[in-house]
Amino acid sequence: MSRTIGKISFPLPEGSHFHEMIDVRAPVEFAEDHVTGAINLPVLNDEERCLVGTIYKQSSPFDARKIGASLVSKNIAAHLDSHFSTKGRDYRPLLYCWRGGQRSGSMATVLNDIGWATTLIDGGYRTYRTHVNETISRKSEELSLIVLNGFTGAGKTLILKSLEKSGHQVLDLEAMASHKGSVFGGDPENPQPAQKRFESLLFDRIAPFDPTRPVFVEAESSKIGKLNLPNPLWQQMKQAPVVEICSPLESRAAYLTADYREWLSDPGRVSRTIDRLKGFHADKILTEWKLMSERGEWEELVTLLLSEHYDRRYSVGGSGSFERPSFTLPLPAHDPASIEFCAAELVEKSSSLFTPAVVS
């Protein structure tokens, strides 16, 4: 006799154990976002999902269910012959689809009938998204943030990485967004995630944070590339105490030239990006910057971009989105020893800025 298919809700109960979490939605849905750690075994691929949906809306729901059942059965059979073929008697899968309904239920029925203890996420991905949004909102209000501000290339990200390495709580938004937060910050080899995926990565990061300890974060705008920061987090960042990292122009230019070395090796890409600065600078200046890129005068070009574009448009003195810096830390160079020293000094001096949250 087949056992009853179990159901479980988010957040997953502490101590719950499953060998795999399986997202049965179409690949395009999975790519947009998914529960971190889940694998994708679609019961309908992208084209099949579109076909069934079109027939359902434009022709006949009955025909759509018939065709859908045939396609789902075929795909589940393929997964049984491949992915599930090596699973043992004690295998325990956890499944979900969009709402925890037909797609995940179809696969769960087959797996359960085989004899595997199968569990469905009640409400599917939709309940996970609700949990993500609620957690980000609640945790954002609980966190005691300390914002690192400073001119472009000051080394804020390097300091965050040093803090994280030494065990401090760090929120590296640029890493999660796959973008360095400027017009030159995109990476075509590592494109930005979808908005929902970005929020899931943010959820994964802040959910375990201890509100009785500070969280260090870099000053960002409300958008990082194409992605929006969740408003509760953005509002908390704007109210948080600020520490300014101050680094000389020469050191910032040398660091950014090295950091963007691969990016700068494509003059055509650099030229197209410089075109995005029209309206900020005269055409004559933009043309000269393009010629510098063609000549490979990278550090000279980066120095001019910093001094003539970024530094003129970026305020670190409290007149922008963030509070006035409580104090300034010098970073004379971007070598490992200087970064570690600055990070340690930041921890020591910022203790006076931190007020542990009161968690009910």
CA 125 to CA 97: how far, in whole Å?
A: 6
Q: Which residue has the higher pLDDT, 295 or 161?
A: 161
- In this structure, the number of other CB atoms found within 10 A of the CB of residue 320 comes to 15
- 159: domain range? 137-353
| Position 131 in a domain | no
Final residue of a structural domain among 87, 122, 157: 122
Both 240 and 271 in a single domain? yes
Concatenate the DSSP letters of all residues of 176-221 into one string. Answer: HHTS-SSTT---TTSPPPPHHHHHHHHHHHHTT--TTSEEEEE---
In this predicted structure, what is the pLDDT of residue 181? 66
Q: Which of 50, 97, 246, 342 is catalytic?
A: 97
Q: Is a pLDDT exceeding 90 seen at residue 187?
A: no
DSSP string, 119-163: EEETTHHHHHHHHHHHHHHHHHHH-EEEEEE-STTSSHHHHHHHH
Catalytic status, residue 97: yes
**What are the structure tokens assigned to 146, written together?**
């300390």
pTM for this one?
Answer: 0.90
Q: Are residues 38 and 181 in the same domain?
A: no
C-alpha angle 229/133/49, rounded to 5°?
100
Give helix 267-275 / helix 283-294 axis angle, nearest 10°. Answer: 170
Q: Provide the pLDDT confidence category of residue 21 given band limits of 50, 70 and 90.
A: very high
- Average pLDDT along the chain: 91
The pair of structure tokens assigned to 275 is 């075109």
Residue 39: beta bridge partners?
Answer: 22
Handedness of CA 66, 68, 73, 78 (dihedral sign): positive
CATH value at residue 18:
3.40.250.10
- Whether 245 is in a domain gets the answer yes
Q: Using only C-alpha atoms, what is the Rg of the chain?
A: 25
Q: Is residue 127 part of a domain?
A: no
